[in-house]
Structure 1
Amino acid sequence: MPDKIQTYVQLAGQTAAGLTKNLDNWTGFLSTASRLYKYPFPDQLLIHAQNPKSTAVAGFDVWTKKMRRYVRRGSKGIALVHVNNGYPRIQYVFDVSDTGVKNNSYNLI
């Protein structure tokens, strides 16, 4: 596995191991997971580890094409590890706080 992918896999493992160490870790994760219920557990772990205050995350194309919003320059994506055709790949998603409104954007509230 490439170093970057291995780093994120280890991050997910460390986050999972640390969830049950105390009540604050567990409730913090549950708070994040409740907002991101459509994502599988491994993705929720990585999102929580990299940005625990995430409220709505999506890929670049979803924000720009479907939601008609733009991703702010310099925003750091949240890395998710997915396996495609037997090979692990990194997919980046962005939180809504990393996006901006265009004139014809959909209102998220």
Structure 2
Amino acid sequence: MRQIRSADPWSTFLTSGRDDAAGTGSARFARREPPPEGARRTLGPDPSDACRRVLDQLHAAHGPQTFDQIRYGTGLGLLEIADAVELLRDRGLARVEDGPEEAVRLTADGTAG
């Protein structure tokens, strides 16, 4: 049996995935099909809870918050926050501002609480 040794651990990882016949390596990370047109990702058990927590964090901050600040303040994961912000943006309650870091800000509709 031949052992592959490399100073670069990524190249070792990537080459180990070429033995798909054995069901190892990249076979474990098979590509998923993209969602159908118009389908949304789901937040998890309760998307309204994530939206409420993000809104509460933005109200408490009295100003824009980066995704990391929201993550720290709510305990949510970045994907949950991104999905919640997308829902809030669709409802007209929040907007995302570009800058050195993207920040989420409440709109005039989101400030009435």
TM-score of the superposed pair, with normalisation by structure 2: 0.24
Q: Give the structure with higher Rg (CA).
A: 2
TM-score of the superposed pair, with normalisation by structure 1: 0.25
Q: Hey, which of these two has a bigger chunk of helix by percent?
A: 2
Q: Which has the higher contact order (CA 8 A, sep 6+)?
A: 1
